[in-house]
């Protein structure tokens, strides 16, 4: 009988400022509501915000884990993982960005494969840089979620990425248009025509939550709050998760 392995979901973007990490945290909340054991792997290595967003104290991070593995042999993974609630754990990005250059993509591959036997879901928050580490991350992913806005540079970068995916015959991705952070009022029809690709999900402009800053300061995940279970953005992201899980 085959051993069950975690499904790997990576949240990324093609430039900064799209609300990518907020989407990743929201997805983690939805997975927690479904009682799926989830680890958020913060692979936004130079500027990861997951642990800080959740007000978690970092003792050891992904750099410490990789460094120990390279030099002394990997200890118990639990020594590097921070618990948020009964279903969400976090492996934090390096506290010192100078350490990022010492992280080998080969060890990221090993790490993801080891985590697959401990969790139901590995949820990866990563940056928009196309380097060896992200390529390894994408290769290990069952689904890649791109969070974009209607910003012109965002759309141009996304179109370039779609061309690359087409050349590589890759189809395991979804596009979320975050209208809540879009400054240019371009319709989804115009965006689809420009990208020559359907937008899979839209977070509506009115999904901006008035108390978001207060909730974030408290280290809370919006989709775990009962008052926001029926918000349009929560419903949209739940549909995405349901599709991926099927």
In this prediction, residue 170 carries a pLDDT of: 84
Q: What pTM was computed for the model?
A: 0.93
On average, the pLDDT of the chain sits at: 91
The model's pLDDT over 119-145, given as tens digits with 9 standing for 90+, comes to: 999 999 999 998 999 999 999 999 999
* Candidate from 37-41, 84-88, 179-183, 238-242 with smallest mean pLDDT: 179-183
Closest Cα partner for 134 from 7, 12, 2? Answer: 12
The model's pLDDT over 59-89, given as tens digits with 9 standing for 90+, comes to: 999 999 999 988 877 678 899 999 999 999 9
Q: What residues contact residue 39 under an 8 Å CB cut-off, 6+ apart?
A: 81, 88, 89, 90, 91, 115, 118, 119, 121, 122, 123
Where do the domains of the chain lie? 7-235
Residue 182 has pLDDT above 80, yes or no: no
Sheet holding 173-178, edge to edge: 82-83, 88-91, 38-43, 121-126, 7-12, 143-148, 173-178, 201-203
In this prediction, residue 2 carries a pLDDT of: 53
| Cβ atoms of residues 13 and 148 within 8 Å | yes
Q: Tell me which fold the domain 7-235 belongs to.
A: Rossmann fold (3.40.50)
């Amino acid at each position: 009988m085959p051993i069950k392995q975690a499904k790997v979901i990576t949240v990324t973007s093609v430039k900064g400022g799209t609300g990518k990490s907020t989407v990743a945290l929201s997805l983690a909340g939805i997975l927690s509501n479904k009682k799926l054991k989830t680890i958020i792997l913060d692979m936004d290595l130079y500027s990861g915000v997951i642990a800080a967003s959740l007000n978690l104290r970092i003792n050891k991070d992904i750099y410490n884990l990789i460094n120990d593995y390279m030099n002394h042999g990997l200890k118990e993974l639990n020594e590097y993982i921070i618990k948020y609630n009964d279903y969400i754990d976090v492996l934090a990005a390096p506290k010192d960005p100078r350490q990022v250059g010492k992280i080998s993509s080969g060890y990221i591959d090993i790490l993801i494969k080891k985590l697959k036997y401990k969790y139901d879901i590995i949820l990866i928050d990563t940056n928009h840089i196309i380097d060896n580490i992200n390529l390894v991350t994408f290769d290990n992913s069952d689904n890649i979620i791109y969070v974009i806005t209607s910003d012109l540079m965002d759309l141009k970068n996304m179109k370039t990425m779609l061309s690359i995916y087409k050349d590589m015959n890759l189809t395991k991705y979804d596009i979320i248009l975050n209208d809540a952070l879009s400054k240019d009022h371009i319709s989804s029809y115009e965006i689809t025509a420009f990208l020559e690709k359907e937008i899979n999900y839209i977070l509506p402009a009115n999904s901006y939550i008035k108390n978001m800053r207060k909730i974030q300061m408290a280290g809370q995940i919006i989709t775990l709050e009962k008052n926001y279970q029926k918000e349009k953005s929560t419903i949209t992201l739940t549909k995405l998760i349901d599709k991926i899980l099927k």
